[in-house]
Amino acid sequence: MLSRPRLRSINPAGNKTDRILQRKVPSRTQRTCQSGTAVRATPLIQASWREYSILERLEKAIGKPLRLRQSFSYERPRTLAISALQLVLGHRQVLEPSQDCHLIIRQVFEMMDQNADLWKLEEVQALAAIMQELLRWEGMDWLQAAAEKLAQDWEDDWMFKLERPSQRMRLDSVAELPAVACSLLKLVAPGTSSAYIQASVMGLGRAAESSVPECCHDLTPQHLAMMLQDLAALSCLGAWSHAASGSKASGLSELTDCLAREAMGSLASRNSAQARFDPSSLVGLLRGIRNMALGVWAAGTKEALLDKAASYIVHRIQLRHLIAVNRTDDIVAILGVYAALQHRSLGTEDLLAAFALQACRSCAAGAEMRAANMGVPPQAGWRFSQAQIASFLMSYVRLRYHPGDQVLMALTAQYVSAGANPSIQPAPPMLEALSHLNYNPGEHVMRCLWKAINRVQRYHAAGSELQVIPPRDREYMHLGWWALCQGAALAPQHANSLAVLLGITKLPAEQVWKGLRDAMDIQLEISSSQT
């Protein structure tokens, strides 16, 4: 266990509160009056005047106005201090050679000490990122002492929040503990090892280990996903490890297992009021699982959690629930996690089949709506970008699962139509995915066209119009439309045939049959030219 180089109060009940109260400054409205003397300003007002002078010095060093006067606040100088440091980083080439820059940074850190409020998580994360850059500058050795002071303040503030009676504040503080620990590790200068900051990280780790089991059932899925992502970042940075043995601390494994059990309980619940994982939380949860370092999970925990997540997603898709995964970004991200982990199981196969079926249905629905009404926005149905389609198919390749020829044809047609240039050729990642899946566009286009032509010809012989064709046979028509999209994109000089089928639900069968016949001729020309 690392020992702290600074002595602390032996009073366990008052040491954190005493140190926080020592930073407290009287409020803006508070005045100190004495008999026969005028009311004098508080130190916070005086600190604000110092901020004003620091900004003037910063403007002079940069050579242009900062335009921060309107956000100038007497209440919270810390916000203005962080903005000033961000400006220093943004104008590093102008300021770093100047001796005045180091003095400005010193004054900004002194200004932050005047703030009496508790630290907020966004302030901690912003300042940690700034400190990580500043510690790389030359001549900033004095900044390590300021970093240790920040580490003390951050640890004290979150320990203080954990003891507050407010249940909401306590839950939020517990969920933020791993993120604060990640920020603490950024305060260590490159090539150095601050024992005090490492001890603060382990102190927050012990607080999380003791606090999470008590209120784990009250943590929301958003909290669980956020904490697992932060714990994954900590595990990759080597945090919460014993300095003597160098092995991972058991507390990190116990904490992650506790969160994993709670997440599995939420995923296994079929009650909508309890299982509240939205798509963004699912993506965050899976990314935390993927990024967790080896040796942290207990045996079988990661695999069980992945299977539960897959089962949960499939269940929501089958029910067509409002919080089912429908955004293409989330779909590609989820498949990317399973592909990166090479996790194959019955649950994963069900997930891949559900996504493939949903993609086929959505592409068909979007094609039908756009064909029936040209005013329908292009977002109707799933609209993948070209990069998303290639990533979607490569995930199936890595997991050794064939999504089906209809899905491949639908996504290939959408891939071609997504390009700004109608004659764009499939990119190498797309061609690589299609070759691994043994998909020959020409062969399947011809097969689909023949099926569509047979249906259209049958209805044309019966004198029927396309509007009365049953939905099952209309699917072949849409497959023919996708094939025509693909053929017209590969041979743009025949794009007029594509215009014939744009109104697929409005045209008589004779015109549709003629358009498909032209498409077949196009494909024959393409096949002959390729041979």
Q: Does the residue 44 lie in any domain?
A: no
Q: Does the residue 53 lie in any domain?
A: no
> Do residues 472 and 396 both lie within one domain?
no
Residue 378 has a pLDDT of 46
| C-alpha closest to that of 489 among 480, 498, 502, 500 | 498
Q: Does the residue 451 lie in any domain?
A: yes
| Residues whose CB is less than 8 angstroms from the CB of residue 249 and which lie 6 or more positions away in sequence, other chains included | 202, 205, 240, 241, 242
Q: Does the residue 105 lie in any domain?
A: no
> Domain ends where: 401, 417, 436?
436
Residue with tokens 């566009």: 441
Cβ 486 vs Cβ 419: under 8 Å? no
Q: Report helix angle 328-341 to 301-319, nearest 10.
A: 150
> Do residues 477 and 503 both lie within one domain?
yes
Residue 46 has a pLDDT of 37
Task: For residue range 25-74, list pLDDT tens digits in order.
Answer: 433 333 333 333 333 333 333 334 455 566 666 666 656 555 544 444 44
> Do residues 445 and 519 both lie within one domain?
yes
Q: Give CA–CA dist 58/49, Å, rounded.
A: 14
Q: What is the mean pLDDT of the chain?
A: 68
Residue 24 has a pLDDT of 45
Residue 272 has a pLDDT of 53
Q: How far is CA 47 from CA 72, 81, 110, 400, 429, in A?
A: 12, 11, 9, 64, 58
Q: Does the residue 396 lie in any domain?
A: yes
Q: Bridge-partner residues for 318, per DSSP?
A: none
> Do residues 374 and 417 both lie within one domain?
yes
> Domain ends where: 436, 462, 487?
436
Q: How far is CA 466 from the centre of its chain?
A: 45
> Do residues 417 and 368 both lie within one domain?
yes
Tell me the average confidence (pLDDT) per consecutive run of 10 residues in the chain, 531 residues long.
Answer: 38 50 43 34 39 62 54 58 78 63 77 75 88 82 84 86 77 85 83 78 81 77 86 73 43 79 81 67 88 78 89 82 69 90 87 84 57 47 74 88 79 61 56 75 58 61 57 55 49 39 42 54 48 49
Task: For residue range 276-324, list pLDDT tens digits in order.
Answer: 788 888 888 899 888 887 777 877 888 889 998 898 888 888 776 555 6
> Do residues 422 and 452 both lie within one domain?
no
Q: Bridge-partner residues for 32, per DSSP?
A: 40
Q: Does the residue 274 lie in any domain?
A: no
Residue 338 has a pLDDT of 93
> Domain ends where: 387, 420, 436?
436
Task: Tell me which DSSP letter residue 298 carries.
Answer: P
> Do residues 429 and 452 both lie within one domain?
no
Residue 506 has a pLDDT of 43
> Do residues 405 and 445 both lie within one domain?
no
Q: Does the residue 487 lie in any domain?
A: yes
Q: Give CA–CA dist 173/160, Å, rounded.
A: 10
Q: Give CA–CA dist 335/283, Å, rounded.
A: 10
Q: Does the residue 467 lie in any domain?
A: yes
> Do residues 403 and 361 both lie within one domain?
yes
Residue 26 has a pLDDT of 38
Residue 315 has a pLDDT of 84
Query: Residue 403 is part of which domain span?
Result: 357-436
Q: Give CA–CA dist 216/271, Å, rounded.
A: 18
**Furthest-apart CA atoms within the chain: distance in Å:** 110
Length of the chain: 531
> Do residues 399 and 469 both lie within one domain?
no
Q: Give CA–CA dist 522/509, Å, rounded.
A: 20
Name the domain count of the chain: 2
Q: How far is CA 98 from CA 59, 61, 94, 139, 528, in A?
A: 13, 8, 8, 12, 71
Residue 170 has a pLDDT of 78
> Do residues 501 and 526 both lie within one domain?
yes
> Do residues 407 and 421 both lie within one domain?
yes
Q: Give CA–CA dist 498/169, Å, rounded.
A: 60
Cβ 296 vs Cβ 248: under 8 Å? yes
55, 61, 65, 67 alpha-carbon torsion, rounded to 10°: -40
Q: Give CA–CA dist 179/170, Å, rounded.
A: 15
